[in-house]
Amino acid sequence: MLAPKRQKYRKQFRGIFRKMATKGDVMQNGQYGIKAKYSGWIKDREIEAVRVILARATRKVGKFWIRIFPDKPYTKKPAEVTMGAGKGDVAYFVASVSAGRILFEIDGIEVEEAKKVYKNINAKLSVKSRLIIKEQ
C-alpha cells in the first residue's frame, strides 16, 4: 500500500474540512479527470484499487496520473479496549481531500471507455466524485 517514507510525527490530529480546494483543482495532464464533489478521506487501499482499474483501462494506449497521496496516518484502537490509555496505533494512511480536488487524470482513451472506467472508479471511492472532460 501507499505510505510516506518518513514522517516527522507518527500520529496526527484528525483536522477539519473547511472549504473548496484551492490547489489541485485544475487539470494539468490528461483529457479526462475525476474530481471530488465533497471533502473526505480516501484510504490507501482505495487509491490502490483505482490504480489497478486505471492500469487495466490504459494498458496499451493511454496514460494516467494519480494526483493524491495518502500522507495522513489514521489511528485505531484494538477491539474491546476501554476508553482512555492514550491514542491507538496507526492502522493505515489516508489522503485528505477537499471538495473540488482533481483525484485522477486519464489520457489516450475514448469518451465511452472513460465513462465506463469512471463508473468502476466511483464504486471504489468513499468520496463522491464526477467525471471532468477537458474542452479543446
* 74-116 confidence digits (pLDDT tens): 999 999 998 888 999 999 999 999 999 999 999 999 999 999 9
Tell whether the model's pLDDT for residue 136 goes beyond 80: no
Q: Does 82 reside within a domain?
A: no
CATH number of the domain that residue 93 is part of: 3.90.1170.10
Calpha distance 64→106 (Å, rounded): 4
Classified as helix, coil or strand, 88 is: coil
Taking only the tens place, the pLDDT of each residue in 43-71 is: 999 999 999 999 999 998 999 999 999 99
Calpha distance 99→67 (Å, rounded): 14
Q: Does 7 reside within a domain?
A: no
Q: pTM of the entire structure?
A: 0.90
Domain containing 99: what range?
40-77+87-133
For cell 464533489, the residue is: 37
Helix, strand and coil in the chain, % to nearest 5: 20, 30, 50
Q: Does 97 reside within a domain?
A: yes
Question: CA-CA distances (angstroms) from residue 81 to 11, 78, 87, 90, 113?
Answer: 19, 6, 11, 15, 48
Q: Which helix (H) or strand (E) holds 49?
A: helix 44-57
* Chain-centroid distance, C-alpha 135: 24
Taking only the tens place, the pLDDT of each residue in 12-48 is: 999 888 889 888 889 999 999 999 999 999 999 999 9
**Domains identified in the chain, total number:** 1
Q: Does 24 reside within a domain?
A: no
Classified as helix, coil or strand, 122 is: helix
Q: Does 14 reside within a domain?
A: no
Q: Does 22 reside within a domain?
A: no
Cβ–Cβ under 8 Å, residues 115 and 123:
no
Q: Does 3 reside within a domain?
A: no
Calpha distance 96→77 (Å, rounded): 21
Q: Does 55 reside within a domain?
A: yes
Grid coordinates in use for 49?
Answer: 484499487
